[in-house]
Each structure stands twice: as structure tokens, then as C-alpha cells.
């Protein structure tokens, strides 16, 4: 039967629950806001100064919003960051 079993499940494929993932991303963004990472706030990404310009709400891809909820503009460009990668100025 190939990759499918009798119940029709695809082995090796992750099922995505978009509503659940949105809830987790929302919680990550709320946690960032509660810790003081609000839009317009100056931060340091390592030793590089930046400013928070938004929140990452992507629920797929390499830099999904759950682990990387902050969008920061620096002199080197715009990046998604985890809260432990940035510090408040």
C-alpha cells in the first residue's frame, strides 16, 4: 500500500493544527509584550542596536513566530529574534 496504512494515515508527515499553532504564537507574542518588548522599543541584538518594528506571526518556515516572536530592525537589516537573543536598552 505504499506510505499509507489501512486507516489512510500518512506515516512521516506532520499534521498541522493551524488553530492550535495560532494560539501558541499568540501566547509567545503576549509573553514578549509582557516582558517589555513592545513596538518602538530600542533593543540590543548581541552588541548591535536595533528597534522592535513588529511581531512574527508566521506559523511555518525556518523562523516561525513561536520561537522567534520579535521582528527587529538593525543597521544590518530586519530579522526575527527570540526573546533571549535581545536585551532591552
Number of C-beta neighbours around residue 73 at 10 A: 13
**Stated pTM of the model:** 0.72
**Per-residue pLDDT, 39:** 97
Q: Which fold has domain 36-88?
A: SH3 type barrels. (2.30.30)
**Per-residue pLDDT, 63:** 85
Q: Please report, in tens digits, the pLDDT of each residue of the chain (89 residues total).
A: 455 555 555 444 444 555 555 567 788 899 999 999 999 999 999 999 999 999 998 888 888 888 889 999 999 999 999 999 999 99
Q: Which residues contact 27 (CB under 8 A, 6 or more apart)?
A: none
Domain boundaries, the chain: 36-88
**Residues in a beta bridge with 55:** 70
Is-contact 38 72, C-beta < 8 A? no
Amino acid at each position: 500500500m505504499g506510505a499509507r496504512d489501512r486507516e489512510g494515515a500518512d506515516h512521516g508527515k506532520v499534521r498541522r493544527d493551524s488553530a492550535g499553532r495560532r494560539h501558541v504564537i499568540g501566547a509567545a507574542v503576549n509573553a514578549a509584550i509582557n516582558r517589555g518588548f513592545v513596538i518602538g522599543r530600542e533593543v540590543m541584538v548581541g552588541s548591535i542596536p536595533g528597534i522592535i518594528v513588529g511581531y512574527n506571526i508566521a506559523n511555518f518556515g525556518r523562523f516561525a513566530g513561536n520561537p522567534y516572536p520579535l521582528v527587529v530592525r538593525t543597521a544590518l537589516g530586519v530579522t526575527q529574534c527570540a526573546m533571549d537573543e535581545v536585551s532591552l536598552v
